[in-house]
Amino acid sequence: MFVIIIGGLVAFGLYVLTRGALPKDDGMNGYEASVISCEFDHSDGTGGGDGGNTNVIVNYTVKNGHTDSRIATVQIEYRDDAGHLVDQDWSQTRWIGAGDTVRGTEMTNLDVPIETGTCRIVGVK
């Protein structure tokens, strides 16, 4: 009985020690991605009568950390200056060779009239 208790304590100790060493899921799935620029262009709303909308252009890079060529699908979040999520979108890159980096551009139209905000890549698959 004593051996079982000691074995259980050792197993639990190893679990606790190795749990911190496991890789964390950062949503990037073996890619490195970053936003280069994020430009908000708020229209004046003429013709629509709804207060206008906002065009956003995001330039980004994606590095393929895999050992084979892949196409990456990038998830981008758009937030207002207060940090509230306004919209999110997906963008797809061209083929990226193993270890290579490509640039991408995503253009979207937000249905809300905001002058400025932030763009953030929250995932790549």
Q: What is the pLDDT of residue 18?
A: 54
Give me the mean pLDDT over the 14-32 stretch: 65
For residues 6-29, give the mean pLDDT.
61
pTM of the shown model: 0.73
Q: What is the mean pLDDT of residues 48-77?
A: 89
Q: What is the pLDDT of residue 70?
A: 96
Provide the domain limits for residue 33: 26-124
> In this structure, is residue 119 part of a structural domain?
yes
CB 114 within 8 A of CB 98: no
Q: Categorize the per-residue pLDDT at 106 as very low, low, confident or very high, splitting at 50, 70 and 90.
A: very high
Summarize the confidence of residues 8-18 as an average pLDDT. 61
- The answer to whether residue 7 sits within a structural domain is no
Domain assignment present for 12:
no
User: CA torsion, points 33, 108, 36, 99, in degrees to nearest 10?
Assistant: 30
The number of folded domains in the chain is 1
pLDDT at 66: 95
CATH number where 88 lies: 2.60.40
From residue 57, how far is each of 1, 38, 76, 79, 117 by CA, in Å? 66, 6, 11, 13, 12
Q: What angle do CA 97, 28, 20 make, to 5 degrees?
A: 125
Question: Would the pLDDT of 3 be above 60?
Answer: yes
Q: Average per-residue pLDDT in the chain?
A: 84
pLDDT at residue 54, rounded to an integer: 92
Distance CA 50, CA 60 (A): 31
Q: Any idea what the Cα angle at residue 88 is, between residues 57 and 31, rounded to 5°? A: 80
- Confirm whether 4 is domain-assigned: no
Whether residue 17 is contained in a domain is answered as: no
Q: pLDDT tens-digit profile of 70-101?
A: 999 999 999 999 999 999 999 999 999 999 99
